[in-house]
Structure 1
């Protein structure tokens, strides 16, 4: 990343941290020493940057639930699906949505339609992530500061709002503007055509979530995709830089320094090493590390590392790989994901199209990781991968999408829609007994909300499903 961009993000984060620290609906006191307004450029800079961190924050929660990662210690809360207080993640999501509320207002006032459209895309994304993990949440009263105890809006109604925001965004981005986005934008660097593609891709993603509902229309998904990404070059992502490492890289570095984290689940290792599926996947050595003996050895979720070769050595995230280099991007939405969305949406009506999209999704992810063309062809020619249209199943789509969305929070949405039906995926050892032998379906509302806004917080359990997970 160029030095000027590094300077901009440092300046932008500093500006917004001052401007928003007293603004969110969760805060009731004002700091007279801090400015209460921020320029549209700074809001855009901070919103794009912090949105990528929100994707990471939620991915770090859900990666244990979908068995990418596992704790080296037995009975760890994240592994065994116990209720955990994620107040920090809640604050991070609402801080960004508060900034976006200001951005949208300022953009409307100044005729900055491209900022307005990008702001609505980011609002839809952050609101969607919030709804997908908690269900009903504050929104209609969340940002007007008239109440410190805002009502909770129905999760299904919020999905209508998310889709409306994306439609509005596409219209805003397609028209003239008084101000160009330019370098204020750390996702697409002001490329408006890519913002429009991103909005359509997110529309398809959110429509696909409703696949189990009566309102689901796969043709609407495919229509959105026709205006979505066209190649890996369109991926929505934020690249990191020397002053702030990619957060997954920091976990890998910390683990090297014996601050344990980023240990790989047995489920993920065995899905790629030829144990659970016939084909050995050439992506495995590009995604996770080997033990000192050159082996891939996972950790069983809930059981910890226990006794094993090399006194318990296991595979972990290691520095320097695609997902864990210091300047690696945090991926928000990818062309590979879009191809798997297409495969699922087209499966019932056009199996040939679905099959080709499935293969294209694998290829796109392999190209992103830098898998050699020889290794790509060998994997794609394996009969268990290229099984032919007649033998092609929806299970294959979910499995390959699970691999291609490594560490991404969208996989937890897929896992719940798929009823955790991945081959050999079983509930963790020492599972939270309140789950009655079942997988977790939502997060518990954070303690900060229960204590501050308890009269409005819905009473739910970890088994209660949000509206599309029926």
Structure 2
């Protein structure tokens, strides 16, 4: 009996000690429970920019008629589904952004926090611009067991994003710390501040019809300065030349890349001016950059004429044709926001009377900034330099739709902005293509020649977040429809 008790006591102590030891052994030092912002930041930037590069290729450029689909023409014909890769890709990157922001707050690193806020704001702006009301204030909050986040109104989201960007600008101007893992601006807080303020200008213009004091807010930002003033300020991700950090389209199969071609719409406009960006946006059909020849695919259904020049050499490597390297331009960047766009924003703000600057000065600067960024060669198009091009091509400023046209051309491969801007111009033109002289409804589209207003919510929301999804759809009028009215178009 005594022996049995001794054995039981011994076994109890052994099991208790073993459990403690097991817990110690079960802690893997190679899998930390917290990840430093310096590790999460590059992942957050890369994933979000990669998503927008892919969506510019598949959706943005095609909806905006800068390019045209030669296969699977859903984007061109307005036969839209939920485009779930937009939703999933951007919400997925927000997980890392939140990790950066929380880590920065915990460490008291105000500059890192400011940069994270700017990145978060840009990502959420893309989501709400695409879908309307979306999970925002409760999104990415699974660590607090918020697994079915409510949908915030688009108006509230815009109000908060603009406020958060102003807060970020102040943190980046006056805060302490450093921006670690920054593959966008290499830790330069001043450039992040310019990015924050320039993004505010974009969003104010996007929502200009719905924010009563948008002009005053825009003027105040411009007056305070610290916005983009040259191509050195561009918010772009410069890709490397090796997998997995190369331009996303480089990895495509040839057939997938050739499913998109230069559109007849953009070709017509650019050939009318002799625009030298043609040799950057597309490959000459004759592969002769000294005497280039191009063709354009019709935007719309596959029966409408789908033969067009291949997308430019910077967007895909093909050793059988002239390469970007041989042209001295390198592979393409991931463009978030450019100095060229800011100049067009200033030009249109001047035309609206928001600022007192000269319209044409900003308009001309916007075109030149785009030309300089793409390192164009004027000679094959019959011009000696930019001034010769501006003065003799017919592109000189005359009316506000000229700003729209040249901004449209400059938005090539800038995420979903070609769609967002086209929608704004369409609304300002009385819900019609008639007020946009360089565009028209795509051939044989399936939406009665009407531009859709939004993407559908993904089907997974209906199953995983049903109550909040249903509330959001009710606010759209009861249907998750591409023509439903969202706040930006009301």
Shorter-chain TM-score range: 0.7 to 0.9
Q: Measure the CA separation in 2 of the matches of 1:110 and 1:123.
A: 19
Aligned to 1:417: 424
Aligned to 1:335: 339
Aligned to 2:461: 449
Aligned to 1:404: 410
- Pick closer, same or farther for the CA change 1:446–1:35 going to 2, 3 Å: farther
- For residue 413 of structure 1, report the CA deviation from its aligned partner: 1.6
Q: How do residues 319-330 of structure 1 correspond to structure 2 at under 5 angstroms? A: 319-320=313-314, 325=324, 327-330=331-334
Q: Measure the CA separation in 1 of the matches of 2:62 and 2:256.
A: 20
Q: Measure the CA separation in 2 of the matches of 1:320 and 1:215.
A: 42
CA offsets 1:239-277 (integer angstroms, 9 cap, x no match): 1112232124445xx33x575323111111111111xxx
CA offsets 1:369-395 (integer angstroms, 9 cap, x no match): 1124724223200263224xxxx2110
- Pick closer, same or farther for the CA change 1:280–1:63 going to 2, 3 Å: same
More off after superposition, 59-68 vs 148-157:
59-68
1:382 aligns with 2:378: no
Aligned to 1:6: none
Tell me which of 196, 215, 218 is aligned to 2:212: 215
Q: Measure the CA separation in 2 of the matches of 1:108 and 1:463.
A: 41
Q: Secondary structure at the match of 1:70?
A: strand
- Is the 8 Å Cα contact of residues 343 and 366 (structure 2) preserved in structure 1? yes
CA offsets 1:201-243 (integer angstroms, 9 cap, x no match): 0011111112212514324223324320111011011111122
Q: Measure the CA separation in 1 of the matches of 2:356 and 2:393.
A: 18
Aligned to 1:461: 481
Aligned to 2:236: 237
- Is the 8 Å Cα contact of residues 280 and 312 (structure 2) preserved in structure 1? no
Point out the structure with max Rg over C-alpha: 2
- Is the 8 Å Cα contact of residues 452 and 483 (structure 2) preserved in structure 1? yes
- Is the 8 Å Cα contact of residues 150 and 468 (structure 2) preserved in structure 1? yes
Q: Any unmatched runs of 5+ in structure 2? A: 1-29, 318-322, 325-329, 379-383, 427-432, 474-479
Aligned to 1:354: 359
Aligned to 2:168: 169
1:428 aligns with 2:439: no
TM-score normalised to structure 1 length: 0.83
Q: Measure the CA separation in 1 of the matches of 2:274 and 2:122.
A: 35
Matched residue pairs, number? 418
Q: How do residues 69-148 of structure 1 correspond to structure 2 at under 5 angstroms? A: 69-73=67-71, 76-145=73-142, 146-148=145-147
TM-score normalised to structure 2 length: 0.80
Aligned to 1:247: 248
- Is the 8 Å Cα contact of residues 297 and 307 (structure 2) preserved in structure 1? no
Aligned to 1:368: 373
Q: Measure the CA separation in 1 of the matches of 2:112 and 2:136.
A: 21
More off after superposition, 53-62 vs 136-145:
53-62
Q: Measure the CA separation in 2 of the matches of 1:306 and 1:206.
A: 35
Q: Measure the CA separation in 2 of the matches of 1:452 and 1:361.
A: 45
- Pick closer, same or farther for the CA change 1:466–1:229 going to 2, 3 Å: same
Q: Secondary structure at the match of 1:211?
A: coil
Q: Secondary structure at the match of 2:335?
A: strand
- Is the 8 Å Cα contact of residues 69 and 265 (structure 1) preserved in structure 2? yes
